[in-house]
Structure 1
């Protein structure tokens, strides 16, 4: 068997996944804090003020990575949910459900920073703009997945029901992405592209890339920790969990 395939099979074992998550989550958090500190330092003290928006534009270094993560995490949640529904892989159910609270948190940060940014730019904290409205709907979808998962006592049945909602909800992601193109919007169009030419000055892009990397590391750490907690809850009563609890005393 291919070593990579063998490793994935081992990762599906609850005790092995517990050890894996416990080992690597702290490293992911540490890398997230380091890259975030470097990115914020560049955003606050190195990058010059924008010629139109002044210093208020600096909030984009939190807003943009959070917005991208809110979409990325939902897509990943649906991907895990699809695998779980097709192949009945319990670890994918756990990972899909662990994504939901993290993605919801990124969406809340996106909406909050967008409102803070919008006040000096648009003169209002909120507008029923297509991008803002669809992002709010995304938050409701996240909350729906979380609520549905917690409403059903059978964990596996709950994960399947909530996972199906996540898969259906993926249809919203391109609507959010292209809302500023399809409809008249107060929200500015795309100025940053990781794979093409950006209209944003190159000196302003580097701290943003560090912040994007930081949010990825933070997500990995949070995903592993939440999935580990759910895994332990599902496996409560098994010998290996009792041994782990006994060793922690």
Structure 2
């Protein structure tokens, strides 16, 4: 346990975090892309068409993981922001702000794929359905956090202000999750369950879980890469950053 606490303490050091991120970000990127590639291939060519939706259902292999990630990334961002506000840990500020563009990307993919699926299923690209509307509000929250962070010159003050918005915005997550249960909605109810029995045919689930795992692993790589870039920008001018520019990439990862 003491080793774990010591490791977390070391991770808060900018030079140590830089070495950690430089080492593990490429591995997470690579592993995530490989798992997602298998999931996409199997989702397109390895599973049968749905008996009602035909081949249109295959877009869920992108839509569902993206939707889950849009919520999970926001929750993680709020956790980092809360830790940063309470304990003034600079690394948590950096990680929280690095989450925002990634989460916004997943939310945009969720809305786009939902609209593509909705056209043949509902006969329209967009409907002010509770799930769609609340997901759109989530995108605006992400964009607001990004905009607020870049609108203030002082990086730490900007991260605290944007982090506070992220913490307040967490109230939207249960609204999005349960919107199809609370209101009359065109959006279908829960089909896939992490703990209980899913309503999908079991043969269709392995590619979906591969996509879910792959997006999570890819997210780790993207988060580390973005946080490392922000960390280097904040620490520009420090001796360890100047020395880093004088070393080779292999030496920098040691």
Aligned to 1:65: 65
Match of 2:192 in 1: 192
Aligned-pair CA distance for 1:31: 0.4
SS of corresponding position for 2:96? helix
Normalized against structure 2, the TM-score is what?
A: 0.97
Alignment map for 1:228-243 (pairs within 5 Å): 228-243=228-243
The residue that corresponds to 1:4 in the other structure is 4
Match of 2:82 in 1: 82
Whether 1:129 aligns to 2:90 is no
What's the secondary structure of 1:212's corresponding residue?
Answer: helix
The count of residues paired between Structure 1 and Structure 2 equals 249
Q: Distance in 2 between matches of 1:40 and 1:139?
A: 25
Task: Quote the offset at 1:33 in angstroms.
Answer: 1.1
Q: Distance in 1 between matches of 2:30 and 2:45?
A: 22
- Hey, what's the Cα distance between the residues in 1 that align with 2:206 and 2:194? 11
Runs of 4+ in 1 over 6 A off after TM superposition: none
SS in 1 for 2:247: helix
Whole-angstrom CA distance in 2 between matches of 1:248 and 1:127: 53
Say yes or no: does 1:107 pair with 2:110.
no
Q: State the alpha-carbon separation in 1 of the partners of residues 248 and 182 from structure 2.
A: 55
Question: Partner of 2:97 in structure 1?
Answer: 97
What's the offset of the Cα at 1:247? 2.4
| Structure 1 residues 208-247: aligned runs within 5 Å | 208-247=208-247
Secondary structure at 1:48 match in 2: coil
Give the match's secondary structure for 1:195.
Answer: coil
Structure 2, unmatched stretches of 5+, are 250-254
Alignment of 1:31-70 (within 5 A): 31-70=31-70
* 2:107 counterpart SS class: helix
Mean Cα displacement is larger for which, 30-39 or 76-85?
30-39
- Deviation of 1:248 (Å): 5.1
User: Take 2:201 and 2:247, find their aligned partners in 1: how far apart are those partners?
Assistant: 54
Matches within 5 A, 1:145-224: 145-224=145-224
Q: Which runs of 5+ in 1 are unaligned?
A: none
Query: Residue deviations 1:93-140, cap 9 Å, x none?
Result: 000000000000000000000000000000000000000000000000
CA distance in 2, matches of 1:28, 1:164: 29
Matched residue, 2:27: 27
Please give the root-mean-square deviation of Cα atoms over the aligned residues, in Å. Answer: 1.0
Q: In the alignment, which residue of structure 1 is the partner of 2:252? A: none
Q: Deviations over 1:181-226 (max 9, x none)?
A: 0001110000100111111111111110000001001100000000
- Supply the distance in 1 between the matched residues of 2:183 and 2:208 (Cα, whole angstroms): 27
